[in-house]
Amino acid sequence: MLKVCIISCGMIANAAHIPAYKQFPNDFEIAAVSDINAEAAENTAKRHGIKKWYTDAKKMLDECRPDVVSVCVPNCFHKEYTLMALSYGANVLCEKPLAFTKKDAEEMFAMAKKQGKVLMACQSMRFTPDRLAAKKYIEEKQENNFYYMELSRVRRRGIPFWGAFHIGKISGGGAFVDIGVHMIDAALWLVGNSEVLSVCGVKSKNHADEIGDLVSSGALTGHVDSIRKFDPDEMDVEDFSAGSVKFKNGAMLNFKVAWATNQPEEAGLKLVNKNVGINISACEIYRGMEPVEKLDGIPLEYDGHFPGHCYLVKNMRDVLKNGADPIVKPEETIACAEIIEAFYRSAELGREVFAEEL
């Protein structure tokens, strides 16, 4: 049995990480949870039948000495708690984004390597029926050299109003770093690109005073214990972002990411090379003037609100027990951090930012 500890007891811990570990009762035992909010820690422990809860993560790690730690704290604290868990000899599943700069991501992976431990970012949105089907098609057909990618992740009115996502010193950014990073990771994973040349981006805040409901903002009813009073004047991160990423092999990725904008809801991803164009969300293949080919979405192996976390937990088990390769590779996560850093710097400077500047 692999002993697990959970750091922070918010929605993602309760609805994603803990249910994922429970899918594998013969492999993982959740020994304890921690949260600086005692009520949240105690409620989570009681809800899931976990014996111990703490308000001090360091004390939990010292007493429990876990094999695996899930880091579910707000974005700006990912590095601190990941390094802490690694220092105690634990393998780590850290919520996305792992880091906001290339340097921080490299430091975190260097620490994992030094400790001889596994560190994976929870890039759980690779695991959707359409993206799994596209990945299978790309691998079976040996498609490569994609020269153009396009993604759009849009909510009509979905600013998260139930936590601190809208406060920069806690979240580190807005829509781009919250929901955009999933799409960027999926694109990198599908085409195998991680050598970034430059990023050009813009961001803006337009709809802080127009709040939707819990579901439209990415929360799950019944999994948010307390809703922090939302003050539009506190919001200092973007609800809209757009731009492009150039890669060293000549490829380009155009993106549009929004918590709120006057456009239809969308989670679209398109890939193009000389042979084919793949409209992933529609499961369509375009080839010259031939009829459109349809892909069958691959059924997911797991039920629940966050099935992607089950794939990640299963992979962590297979890495630790069977020597499998991590499904989310360090170079992919470092590239995501590089794109995040360059995007925000570009938006601030009003110009293209090259990777060599970071």
Read off the pLDDT of residues 294-318 as tens digits, 9 standing for 90 and up: 999 999 999 988 999 999 999 999 9
Q: Please determine, for residue 221, whether its predicted confidence score (pLDDT) is greater than 70.
A: no
pLDDT digits (tens, 9 = 90+) for 116-175: 999 999 999 999 999 999 999 999 999 999 999 999 999 999 999 988 999 999 999 999
Dist CA 136 CA 142 (whole Å):
10
Query: Mean pLDDT in the chain?
Result: 96
Q: Residue 69 phi/psi, 5° resolution?
A: -125, 130
Band of residue 114 on the pLDDT scale cut at 50, 70, 90: very high
Q: Give 237: exposed, middle or buried? Use CB within 10 Å, 0-12, 13-18, 19+.
A: buried
Q: Please determine, for residue 224, whether its predicted confidence score (pLDDT) is greater than 80.
A: no
**Could you state, in order of their start, the residue ranges of all structural domains in the chain?**
2-125+304-325, 126-300+335-357
SS3 (DSSP) at 64: helix
Contacts of 289 by beta carbon, 8 Å cutoff, 6+ apart:
none
Dist CA 17 CA 9 (whole Å):
10
In the CATH hierarchy, which fold is given to the domain comprising 126-300+335-357?
Answer: Dihydrodipicolinate Reductase; domain 2 (3.30.360)
pLDDT digits (tens, 9 = 90+) for 4-19: 999 999 999 999 999 9
Q: Please determine, for residue 228, whether its predicted confidence score (pLDDT) is greater than 90.
A: no
pLDDT digits (tens, 9 = 90+) for 329-354: 999 999 999 999 999 999 999 999 99
HSE-CB at 349 with a 13 A cutoff on CA atoms is 13
240: left (phi over 0), alpha (psi -120 to 50) or beta: beta
Helix (H) and strand (E) counts in the chain: 12, 15
% of the chain with per-residue pLDDT over 90: 93
- Predicted TM-score (pTM) of the model is 0.96
Query: Which is higher by pLDDT, 268 or 221?
Result: 268
Domain at 2-125+304-325, CATH homologous superfamily: NAD(P)-binding Rossmann-like Domain (3.40.50.720)
Of 288, 283, 259, 295, whose CA–CA distance to 273 is shortest? 288
The total number of residues written for the chain in this structure: 358
pLDDT at 118: 98
| Stretch 67-76: mean pLDDT | 98
Instruction: Please say whether the beta carbons of 151 and 255 come within 8 A.
Output: yes
Dist CA 239 CA 178 (whole Å):
10
300: left (phi over 0), alpha (psi -120 to 50) or beta: beta
Q: Please determine, for residue 207, whether its predicted confidence score (pLDDT) is greater than 90.
A: yes
Band of residue 115 on the pLDDT scale cut at 50, 70, 90: very high
